Amino acid sequence: MPKKPDQYLQLDPWRIIEKGWSPSRNRVSESLFSLGNEFMGVRGYCEEGTEGETLLGSYFNGIYEEERSTKPQYRGIVDKTHFMVNSVDWLYTRIEIDGERLLMGRSAIEDFSRILDMRTGILERSFLWKTESGRAVRVRFTRFLDMIETGRGYQRIELTLLKGSGPLSAQITLGADFGTVHGQKRKHYWKKETQERTKTGVSLTARTKSTGHRVYSGFEWEASVPHTDFSVITEERCGAVQFAVPLAAEQPVLVTRSAFNDTDKSDLSSDDFHRRARERHLNLPSPACEQALAAQEEYWGRVWESLDISIEGDERNQQGIRFCLFQLRQTYHGRDPQNNIGAKGLTGEFYNGHAFWDTETYCLPFYLLTDPAAAKNLLEYRYSTLPRAMDRARQLDCRGACYPVATLNGEEACDLWQHASLQFQPSTAVAYAVAHYGNITGDREFLYGHGAEMLVQISRFLVSRGSWDQTGEGFGYYAVMGPDEFHMMVSNNSYTNFMARKTFEYTLKLISEIEGKAPGRLHLLKEKTGLNEGEIGEISRCAEHMIILFDESTGLFEQHEGYFNLPHVDVSTIPEEEFPLYDHWSYDRIYRTDMIKQPDVLMFLFLYASQFDKEVIRRNYEFYEPRTIHESSLSPSIHSIFASTLGRQEEAFRFFRFATRMDLDNYNRNTGEGLHTTSIAAAWINIVYGFGGLRSDGPRLSLSPTLPSEWDSYEFRFFYRGFHFTVRVNGAGVEVKASAESSDSKPEEGEILIYEERFSPGQGRIILPLTT
């Protein structure tokens, strides 16, 4: 993998620190210093304005626009797409001194720093501004998003005139601006509808031009000194207040803003929505900024107690994994079952804010083992979009439910037919996630209801999309694309077939369980889905006769029919300057060889790792890894996990070095487009499933920890069946501690395996020697 880090951030175990203003790196930093609370996200842009490269990004989960294709399309090919739309700049700020406006990239500044404290979720930026009139002013901006009252955001501006500069005043404008330009499309998508005064500030409502989604944004403000020259500004897309504050030498002046944002996608009229949002805004208790800061610190303190990973002996990865954990919690914590996790979270517009099958395969394990309620809400999102998945199946001339490759609202938004019409990883991933959730939590209420309904409809789709071969003895999938994505229109991709068979088998198993334990629920399921005994039999036959391309003599799964006969290319000979290949090779050239973009066979071996012996894993790893170019940021972590499983610790760590710092060191040179949120989840998997050896697909959770030679020790936490577990690994051995969440927690349900030795949480603590 010819990837080199761009290391410009200072190392610190709890903070992300940038020293010095770099215009060429500004968009990267804007992504890295993004804040979010699941409801809304804001990039780390300079609220006073920037001259030069910037993406002023402010986003709300689930607020999107639509565009239709102008080209005629064949049946089944998407002719309408949707995308997360850049929204209101609720941090809009303008500062003038002696008639000179403060503008990053133009103003003369020194001693610039940008610091994100991950212990508190607080972003601070400071610098010395030297004006053309000879003034020197220390400027400090602080911002954070409320993690509980998620419509709230806070901003604090501190101005300090340096000694000897003489008295003067600063003109300050605070506003809410819907004039933001959507970076990907270079368009405005908002129309302002209302503007009103609030207690001290203004409030605005605007709607998107196509979908009619509405956003309300209002704020209150206060200054630490008396202000003058107050006025209200009304513009086409912006509303603001303007005032002046006096500056005296060495006397800091504080200006604090408390903002409130709300959204609506219903049929409410503009007036009714504005009235409702305004009432919420004005009636919501408004704590002082210091109180809000204290609450923020308390919230993040609880979070870190439950999910921190500590590493001794490796500063870079210690900082890196905490950055990953921080971003995962910011992006999603189960606030709303209507939300999903976009590939870039709420940090940028690339991938249009869409969620992919990465949610179920890479992100869900993190939430399952740290916050099961949040994991359940991810599945509830898929259930809420089941009707649209059923519509998509009909568009493909199939029955049941086909979940989209890329989506915000449940509709297919990917207009690349070779992905949207040929890839069924999202559907089998949802089925896998239902089974995984049930296995970890034991939540029968969900499984017997929403879970079973999704499984029936997914199985129905998979039956209707598959075909029997000409002998009538083999069932499989033709004209498909597997996770690899460098081979399309293939027959019997092993991942697709294997995951379909697992979907069938689990669906049948669950139906049988419901019949035995809750026959009334089975009656309801059949009534709602139209499931009958004939269809159950058909699912069973398809599972039994599924074509799986496995060679007993070699121990290899063939990725798809004919793969072994494809022309071979030595991926190590591809020049570094030709990466990424999508940008430098003709599109059809990518599909002509046995080169692989990302794990395909290895992916299902990972998802069902407990069902394959180490020799099968070794043979397939040794065959497929040299053919993989890791063009996807998700790829290195899976390979690192298998290398660790096979005892190849040096190789495992070589792959791992990309995991926690993919964005912090801008390995792919595209962090400026937004963070690789699902790859961030893969970093957690890399440590917990890789070095920690955790496996969650078997009947009981198991651990087989190893210790990378580069580390002195590491410690991670997870939650399982009512118990909090802490695993500490060092040269002396493995220590596992367990504590009950409540008096109702049952030790027999939380029993796990450590190196095949049973550990009951009732024991409290166990120490075992490190096994290699």
Q: What are phi and psi of 601, to 5 degrees?
A: -60, -45
With contact defined as beta carbons under 8 Å apart, do 536 and 544 qualify?
Answer: no
DSSP letters of 339-365?
----TTTTS-SGGGG-B-THIIIIIHH
Cβ neighbours around 260 below 10 Å, total: 25
Structure-derived torsion over alpha carbons of residues 277, 281, 284, 290, reported in degrees to the nearest 10: 140
State the pLDDT at residue 607. 98
Averaged pLDDT score across all residues of the chain = 95
Sign of CA dihedral 95, 97, 103, 108: negative
Q: What distance, in Å, lies between the first and last C-alpha atoms of the chain?
A: 27
**% of the chain beyond a pLDDT of 70:** 99
What are 402-420's pLDDT values in tens digits? 999 999 999 999 999 999 9
Instruction: Quote the CA–CA distance of 39 and 476 in Å, as a whole number.
Output: 41
What are 289-318's pLDDT values in tens digits? 889 999 999 999 999 999 999 999 999 999
Q: Is the pLDDT of residue 72 over 70?
A: no
Going by pLDDT thresholds of 50, 70 and 90, the confidence category of residue 592 is: very high
Q: Is the peptide bond before 636 cis (omega within 30 degrees of 0)?
A: no
Tokens of 449: 């209801």
Instruction: Quote the CA–CA distance of 118 and 193 in Å, as a whole number.
Output: 37
pTM of the shown model? 0.97
State the pLDDT at residue 657. 87
State the pLDDT at residue 392. 98
Closest CA to 673 of 206, 343, 332: 343
Instruction: Quote the CA–CA distance of 567 and 564 in Å, as a whole number.
Output: 9
What are 104-149's pLDDT values in tens digits? 999 999 999 999 999 999 999 999 999 999 999 999 999 999 999 9
With contact defined as beta carbons under 8 Å apart, do 95 and 170 qualify?
Answer: yes
Q: Is the pLDDT of residue 1 over 80?
A: no
With contact defined as beta carbons under 8 Å apart, do 633 and 662 qualify?
Answer: yes
What are 238-295's pLDDT values in tens digits? 999 999 999 999 999 999 999 999 999 998 888 899 999 999 999 887 777 889 999 9
Closest CA to 369 of 420, 299, 286, 306: 306
Instruction: Quote the CA–CA distance of 350 and 345 in Å, as a whole number.
Output: 10
**% of the chain beyond a pLDDT of 90:** 91
Distance of CA 447 to the CA centre of its chain: 25
With contact defined as beta carbons under 8 Å apart, do 262 and 216 qualify?
Answer: yes
Q: What is the chain's alpha carbon radius of gyration, rounded to the nearest angstrom?
A: 27
State the pLDDT at residue 567. 97
Residue position matching structure tokens 């059923």: 390
CA dist list (Å): 93 to 42, 48, 59: 15, 5, 18
Q: Is the pLDDT of residue 167 over 90?
A: no
Give the pLDDT mean for 598-617. Answer: 97
State the pLDDT at residue 2. 59
Cβ neighbours around 765 below 10 Å, total: 12
The beta strands (E) that lie in 224-335 are given as: 228-234, 238-247, 253-264, 310-312
What are 421-442's pLDDT values in tens digits? 999 999 999 999 999 999 999 9
Q: Is the pLDDT of residue 70 over 80?
A: no
State the pLDDT at residue 73. 78
Instruction: Quote the CA–CA distance of 766 and 506 in Å, as a whole number.
Output: 34
Give the pLDDT mean for 484-493. Answer: 97
Neighbour-count burial for 576-607, b at 16+ CB within 10 Å, e otherwise: eeebebeeeeeeeebbeebbbbbbbbbbbbbb
What's the farthest any 2 CA atoms get from each other in the chain?
93
Residue position matching structure tokens 């699941």: 38
